Structure formats: structure tokens, C-alpha cells
Amino acid sequence: MVFHETDILRAFDEGEFFPVFQPLVELRTGQLSGFEVLARWNHKIFGAIAPEDFIPWIEESGLIDRLSRTILESAFAAPVLIDSPLTLAVNISPRQLLGEKLPERIAALAAKSGFPLDRLIIEITESALLDDLARAQSAAREVKELRCKLALDDFGTGYSSLRHLHALPFDELKIDRSFVSSMAAQRESRKIVASVVGLGQGLGLTTVAEGVETQEQASMLTWLGCDLGQGWFHGYPVPASELHCVISAFQNESRVAVPGPMDGDSFVSLDVLPAQRLAQLQAIYDGAPVGLCMLDRNMRYVSLNRRLSQMNGVALSAHLGKTVAEVIPRIFPMVEPYIRRALQGESITGVEVQKPHAADGSESQTLLLSYQPARDEAGEILGVSVAIMDVTSSKRTERALRESENHYRHMMQLNPHVPWVLDSNGEVTEASPRWESFTGQTVEEALGNGWLKALHPDDVEPTLEAIRISLKTGQPIDVEYRVRRPGGEWNWMRSRGSPRFGPTGRVVCIYGVVEGVHEQKQMTEELQNSHAELRTALSAVPVGMVLADAQDCSIYMVNPEADRIFRGAIYPGQKLTDYSKMNFFWADGHMLQAEDFPLSRTMLRGETVDARHVRYNDSDGMQMDLEISSKPIYADDGALIGGLMMIRELIAPDQAMAFVRSARADALQGHR
């Protein structure tokens, strides 16, 4: 298609040239970074004309500056872009770069609309650098003085030179679409793209991939560490009137970074440059406590860490380039099948291998091996990644734990009590076989909630409630219940347990024991009955009686007559030191000392104290004469277990004479 200058000038006059905006997207985050501004011609006769068809004619007509001015003026004037952080990238032809007053014209157009130049990216091709590199350097510096960024476009398409990258202050490096479009199918293209990305990032340049049309391409670029993507996959070029919709869509949609081909299965970090990432991986590689290596498709060592070198007992340098069979011939037959399966694409983990005994007779090692296929960006298998862990110590510990468990189970069987374990649901998971001797129910029948069948129906719910409380609050269990003996009678058992807590503080299980307490319960009942009989007998005696316990020298029983005499001053639970300080006096008026008090002598020295006449002053000042005696109480084995104090109230002579007179008067009155 041929265009004459008159037709092009008419198109300018009638406004047929206009800009479109293609999104530039951050590959790592999926967020909108900016737009590249592209020129379009909507011819009144031919309709839409592709840039590659009309740009050469405009350049030849010498109207390229007018086209750039028209496109930039419209782009800068887009209101939605002026106050946003988004960048604009524009192409400048070699003729414009090497011409006069390019920076002034750009600055004037930006000032007219108020567009900030620090968000403008000037893209140039390498062809602009060939004719006059010195002039290109000068123009580039002038552009940079405006705070614009500079990008090298279509890198790698015939004129690429590291000299150009070094000579000009570029900020961005754009990967040509021809390499991006073929990278999924051609390994050579993938390697070129990877090299360009690595070169750009190594020089501190932002890398931009052109012509991204599929998710597969975007995924590979992301995995390789490319910064920005541009192409139909991320968005078609749109006119200025549609910019608001595009920006809103990126802001409102939940966009995520395009996944790399190995995400979820491998370590990937895109927060650093490739050289830094390599250093990080090397540090991890060398610092790992496990043996690591990479094998190629011929099972040769490509790389390995020091730990594996130590495990194999072979120097690092002696591994590289050698096959596994050459380095560890005794172990190779054991691992060869797994390596071959990994080379076919299978991931293999948890392979346990017992190394043959060393010549020095040391303990044989147990190794745990994993094999993972190593793939390139397109998923082709390059070799096998191997991880080897020495689990000899763990296996030794595992054997010790098994032995401990066997010892524990043996102890459970011999324990006179019945050990048990409840899980977090309150169900029995373990119990001693002795349970069967108590109940006739086997351990298998008792597991879960089966043991409840052996309990008396009235005791089931209280027992379950005690378990629920323990699981909820962490309190110990202490509960008694009846179980049916094999003969049919009900016997009392006592079950005690302590909870075990998990990392979150919740009860994960309860450990406890069951013991027979039937005889103790019977003895307790008999003792309570005897105690009641004793209390009844003492209550009927017309003499005051006080019983004390030798264990803690405290009163444990006071009969009614003694309570009447002392009017509550002596009571159960009272200590010897308290009642020995009461107001007791000898007949001659001297106060009794604590050690002379009859019950004190009995309890402290085991003496029998015959009846002694003492005078007692109560808290109200009332005096009474008492006769007090005491004697020790011994167990069958002769041990002192308590003391008995007897109190009888004495009547004074004048009171006795008054009583006789009163009785005689009553008798005479009755006779009359």
C-alpha cells in the first residue's frame, strides 16, 4: 500500500491519527504498571491501517515528528492518566533521537497537559545507535535530564551489542516478541529469553516481554524472573475513551501473579535478581543438614553439597562428571531403579536404604532418600534432584521407643492396679489385662465405651460427668463406682486420673489407674458404725468425757455432760495448746500449768492421772469444783493413739447441807 504526502497531510488535518494504549502488567503481582502508547490511522477510505504499513511512509515524508507530537499530545491529555501512578511508554524513531530539540518538544507537550515526565518511558531501537553513537549518547542524556526513563526496544533482533547497553543509560530492556512467541515450543528461544532476563536484571534494568499471548508464556516469563509483560494475554490496545474501564477492571478484579510452572512443588523466589537468587540457593544448598545433589540424564553428578560429599566419603571434586555407579559402586544397585523412575518423571520419596557395613566395623548407616525429576521451563526433564538424610540416629531412637513401649505394656500387665488411658473423646484406648480379673470383661470388650457395661447403672452417669469435667477443665479425676464381679456381686472401685495437655492447652488424653476399694469401704462403714455406737454410749454416761487424738493432739469427741460442764469451751477440733490455757486452778488456788493439766500429761507422756480436785472458772466468772482424771488409749500393737479425760462435778459442803435441808423440808411437807 502506497501513501502520498498529500494524503498523509490530509489525514493529519482531519484527525485520522490517534493513540491507543496497551497495558503493561507486573508479572509477579498481576497488577497494572502502565501503558505503551501506539499510533493508529483510521483512514476515511481504507479504514484501520496497521502501523507497519504507514510508519515507513510517514518517516520518508519527514512527518514523523508531527505524528509523534499528535500522538503524545493526545496521550498526555488523557485525564485518567495525569493523576495516576501509571507510566506511559512511547516509541521514538532513530531519526527523531538523532534530530534536534527532541527533549524540548517532549517537555513542552508534557507541560501543556501537566503530565509528569518521571512517568514517561522513551523507547528506542538499536538501529538508532548505529549511525552516530556519540549523538545518541548526548540525546539520551538530555532525555534523562527531563527525568524520563529510557528503554532499549526489540533487544536481540540483529543489532544487539553489549557495548550499546554499556554506552547509554538505559532503564528498561524489552525482549522482542519473536522470542516470546516461540519460547513455549523452542528450547533455544527459552534460553535466549532467560539470558536476556538474566542480563537485564544483572545490569539493574527492568525487563519487559513483548507479545505475551498465552498463559503458558506468561508463566514461563514469571518463573524466569521477567518484570513486566505486554501483549494480548494482558490486554488489547484501547483508545483513550476506554482507559477508565481498563484501569477500573485491574483495580476491581482479584488479580494474582501468574503461576510459574513449578509453583507448589519447588522453591521459587522472585524477590531478588537471578545472581542473588543463585547465591541464596547456593547458601541453602551448602548449609542444608541433608545430602543434596543434581544428576543429569546419564546419572552423572552435576552438582552436590558438602554434606553429601561427607556422607559418601568422597571429595567434592571427585564427584563432578562421574556417574553414581563410579562414585558409590556398593550402593548404586540399591538406588539405580529409583533414579531411572525419576528420569521417567516419577517423584519418589521416603526410600529407606541400609548402607553396607564399613570396613572399620562401625555401625551400619540407614539412609532416607528422595528423588525428584528436574525440569526446565517447558517441563522437559533435565535430570534428577536427590536428597539424602542420615536417619541412623532416628532409627536407633525408634528402636528404643519400641523397647520402652514393650516395657510399659509389660508393667501394665504386672501392675496390681488397672492402668488405663482415655483419649480426648473420653474413650478407653488402653487398659491393663487385670481389668478382666476384676470384672470378667476382656480388655478388647472394655475399649471405647465398652467398660461402662461393667458399671452399676446408678454409677454410669456420675462417672461420665467426672470424665467430661476433666476433659473440659483439666481437673484430675477421682471417682468411685461399683463393678460387677464375675460371681455377680457388686464391688466398689476407685478410679483416679490426670490429664495430659497438648500444645494449645487442650486435654489430649487422661492417664489413670483403677483400684479395688471394696474392703476399705466396708472397713470405713464399720468404723463409722462403731463411732456412732461409741458416741451413743458416751452420751448416756452421767460423767463428762472428752476423747483426744494422739496424732495431732486435738479433741475429736465431747459427750453431752462434758459439754454442759464446760458450756462449749471444749469442742471437737480444739488443740491441746488451746484447752490447756483455760482457767483451771488447784484446790489451794494456784493455776494449773499446761504441762500439769491431766490430759496434757496423758497425751504428751502417756501417763494415767488419777482423779484430782480442780476448780474451773468459766468465761462468765462462774466457779465450779471438778474432779478430773485421764488415761491413755493404746492400739493392739501398744502405740499411743489417744487419751480419755473424765470430768465429774463436785458439790461444795454448804451446797450439800442446803440440799439436805431442802429435801427434809419437802419430806415433812408431804407427810403433813
Name 24's bridge partners. 34
Q: Which residue has the cell 529469553?
A: 193
Residues labelled as active-site residues: 210
Tell me how far apart the alpha carbons of residues 228 and 55 are, in angstroms, rounded to a whole number.
26
Which DSSP state fits 359? T
CA 418 to chain centre: 37
Task: Burial-class residue 549 by CB neighbours within 10 Å (0-12, 13-18, 19+).
Answer: middle
Four-residue CA torsion sign, 405, 409, 412, 418: positive
Cell numbers found for residue 304: 552436590
| Contact (CB, 8 A) for 477 and 496 | yes
From the list 618, 612, 586, the residue with the least C-alpha distance to 599 is 612
| Contact (CB, 8 A) for 291 and 388 | yes
| Contact (CB, 8 A) for 236 and 213 | no
Task: Burial-class residue 14 by CB neighbours within 10 Å (0-12, 13-18, 19+).
Answer: exposed
Q: For residue 12, give every residue at least 6 positions away whose Cβ sits within 8 Å of its Cβ, in sequence order, or none.
A: 63, 66, 67, 70
Task: Burial-class residue 504 by CB neighbours within 10 Å (0-12, 13-18, 19+).
Answer: exposed
- Pair type for strands 149-155 and 172-175: parallel
